[in-house]
Amino acid sequence: MPNSVTSIWEMAFKDNELTSVINYDWFESNYLYLPIDWWIEIMRYYWSSWSLDIPSNINNKSVISLWSNAFNNHLIFGDGVNLTNVTIPNTVVTIKDQAFLYNSLTSVIIPNSVISIWYRAFNYNSLTSVIIPNSVTSIWKWGFLNNSLTSIVIPDSVTSIWAYAFWFQLWDGWWTVYWPASGYVKDTYDNNTNTEFDKTKLPNYVGNQ
């Protein structure tokens, strides 16, 4: 709720399950954000186009984190305008839970600043390939579940890949994982049986998550 509100009338919040009301005065260019010291976290974005370049700063504060469900299409529009491609700035360190859930992304550029990709961050999109930058150390459970991936490049900076991170790609055929640290050793997997790739081939693999 913005600081501009001067009155709240009777029964304005009747019959809901609110546990708190936060006074937000942090809305800029369709972005709802949370300022934290010198940086900000994008909490929601209300868009009307298919393509998006996320800004690297808002009101002179660096965009460091994309909050849970920030670009979740079901929460914003309810199957409205699906994002088809997005560029994430090289200030972002964390892509949180379900940040881009339920869109139609065919292309995403993940910058070399991102360290972790959280739970279901890109779940239910249409990605056909993804390159994980060498800044990423962890990919959480179901991070890229339900896409159309046929090619994945994973750097040896990644030490943790959680269960089903790349499981169930929506096409019939084989998909490929490249391990650059091993000289681009190619592993192929039969999507018809939803085979999960062998995480033990990761150079710094430390065990199941």
**pLDDT score of 151:** 76
Which residues does 130 contact at the CB level (< 8 Å), separation at least 6? 108, 110, 122, 144, 149, 151, 152, 153
Place of tokens 């370049």: 53
Using the predicted structure, report yes or no on whether residue 152 has a pLDDT greater than 70.
yes
Using the predicted structure, report yes or no on whether residue 63 has a pLDDT greater than 90.
yes
Q: What average pLDDT does this structure show over 54-76?
A: 88
Number of domains in the chain: 1
Task: Report yes or no on 6 lying in a domain.
Answer: no
* Model pTM score: 0.73
Using the predicted structure, report yes or no on whether residue 5 has a pLDDT greater than 80.
no
Task: Report yes or no on 18 lying in a domain.
Answer: no
Using the predicted structure, report yes or no on whether residue 119 has a pLDDT greater than 70.
yes
Which residues does 152 contact at the CB level (< 8 Å), separation at least 6? 129, 130, 132, 144, 166, 175, 176, 177, 178
**pLDDT score of 25:** 61
Using the predicted structure, report yes or no on whether residue 195 has a pLDDT greater than 60.
no
Q: What average pLDDT does this structure show over 30-49?
A: 82
What is the rounded CA–CA span in Å between residue 139 and residue 123? 12
Which CATH number characterizes residue 100's domain?
3.80.10.10
Q: Is 52 helix (H, G, I), strand (E, B) or coil?
A: strand
Task: Report yes or no on 114 lying in a domain.
Answer: yes
Model confidence at 6, pLDDT cuts 50, 70, 90, reads low
Using the predicted structure, report yes or no on whether residue 186 has a pLDDT greater than 70.
no
Q: What average pLDDT does this structure show over 157-176?
A: 68
Highest mean pLDDT among 8-17, 32-41, 46-55, 68-77: 32-41
| Model pLDDT for residues 18-37, shown as the tens digit of each residue | 765 655 566 766 788 888 88
Q: What average pLDDT does this structure show over 125-142?
A: 89
Report the 10 Å Cβ neighbour count for 152. 22
**pLDDT score of 191:** 47
| Model pLDDT for residues 67-108, shown as the tens digit of each residue | 999 888 876 654 456 889 899 999 999 999 999 999 999 988
Task: Report yes or no on 188 lying in a domain.
Answer: yes
Task: Report yes or no on 151 lying in a domain.
Answer: yes
Residue ranges making up the domain that contains 147 = 34-201
Using the predicted structure, report yes or no on whether residue 181 has a pLDDT greater than 70.
no
